[in-house]
Structure 1
């Protein structure tokens, strides 16, 4: 089973530089702010917000910052059988790609860090599941160019609609009207492109906005639930816990600790 050895989120201020060395573990790195250059084997790789980089163990890596930046990273090992789970893991070469559903990817990475730091009885299983999902998203993003352009365009139209109307009551019928297709067809195309259903994507948009309100404004949980399009606070609480791994009240308490 995939096993994490470290998982972190760091802000880097001023000049950052790392000399070239051979990686002991597999590394998944996500840039969430700023720009850096990574040297991967004999290549120079530019990474900026929204870019991810997977490097298998044994890769020669180094790097330098172009500006202040923030990045998330995890170092992990695989059993030999794990390599069969995804082409990305079996090919044994680095992969850099941009993530179209970056907010969702970032939320899942933060949940990965949460479970890694908790060290609970099922943390290893949770970390395995989440990291495998993240690697699957990367594998999919890398291969997405093979999808028909019409499917990609429809998925982008739906994403824009959900981002613009997340405060409203959005149904699959609304997406059907938007795309001129049946609700099932619109949902199927969206999931085939993004890896998540429209409702799952909408939940993550709403929870991301809710967390921003928790940081930036003095609002009650009930007010935040209403502001982000949930029909009642109990439903908001259930979705928030499913997406983040903790309750809204626990998140708000951790914000102020």
Structure 2
């Protein structure tokens, strides 16, 4: 059985470092911003934004800021019975791995929820935290189980994704995205779905809904104001999109707040 020991969010710690030691726990690392340098069993590893690292128990590990610059990352320390298979291949193989997740926004959101939940004092906290963590592990395992994609496909998909991350509040259509990589609109839609599991326009709405949820909980903006800020000039359309992706109206989300399950976004 998997047991979570701690969940940490290292946010721009100026002199972050860990001493070289053989760890007696497992670590899942998700880098959110910047770069971090590890030494894993004597080998130097540089991890950056979007990278996931699984560092198994008994690994000799040290870590520090890359070139002295701070970074942001989530680290989840956990244990599990080494004699029983978990069904998660990278856990059962008990070997260090590093890969870049294409579902970084979803992974960061689940880590954030786990970080907040584990520090709360609400009932059934341990069960909820384990469920969130198992969902995260399953998503990462599913991603690793995908057939290998060609470097050119990954490059084109990343170009589109980066554009959406920077311009998601602006009007965007498939024709516009196709011009970024000089391919047809149908190719863009199929490519993005193959790499990230959903079409690019849906991803744009997902980004907008994540931001809408954040603005609802952390600002005094009105629902109409949030809709317009995110590019929905028809407030009734914003309500329909929000309910479709989040499963409830914006006003109901305000009442439930961080307790709402946003996994359906992805």
TM-score by length of 1: 0.70
Q: Structure 1 residues 34, 161: closer, same or farther in 2, change over 3 A?
A: closer
The 5 A counterparts of 1:1-257 are 1-65=1-65, 66-79=68-81, 83-140=85-142, 142=144, 146-147=148-149, 152=154, 155-156=157-158, 159=161, 163=165, 164=167, 180-181=185-186, 186=189, 190-195=192-197, 201-210=203-212, 219-229=221-231, 231-233=237-239, 236=242, 239=245, 247-248=253-254
Q: Structure 1 residues 152, 125: closer, same or farther in 2, change over 3 A?
A: farther
8 A Cα contact 2:169 2:229, kept in partner: no
8 A Cα contact 1:52 1:97, kept in partner: yes
User: Residue 73 of structure 2: SS of its match in structure 1?
Assistant: strand
Between the aligned partners of 1:12 and 1:157, the Cα distance in structure 2 is 27
Aligned length: 245
Q: How large is the Cα RMSD of the aligned pairs?
A: 4.2
TM-score by length of 2: 0.69
Gaps of 5+ in 2: 259-266
Q: Structure 1 residues 196, 15: closer, same or farther in 2, change over 3 A?
A: same
Q: Pick the structure with more helix per residue.
A: 1
8 A Cα contact 2:25 2:57, kept in partner: yes
Q: Which residue of the partner structure matches residue 255 of structure 1?
A: none
8 A Cα contact 1:34 1:68, kept in partner: yes
Between the aligned partners of 1:225 and 1:82, the Cα distance in structure 2 is 49
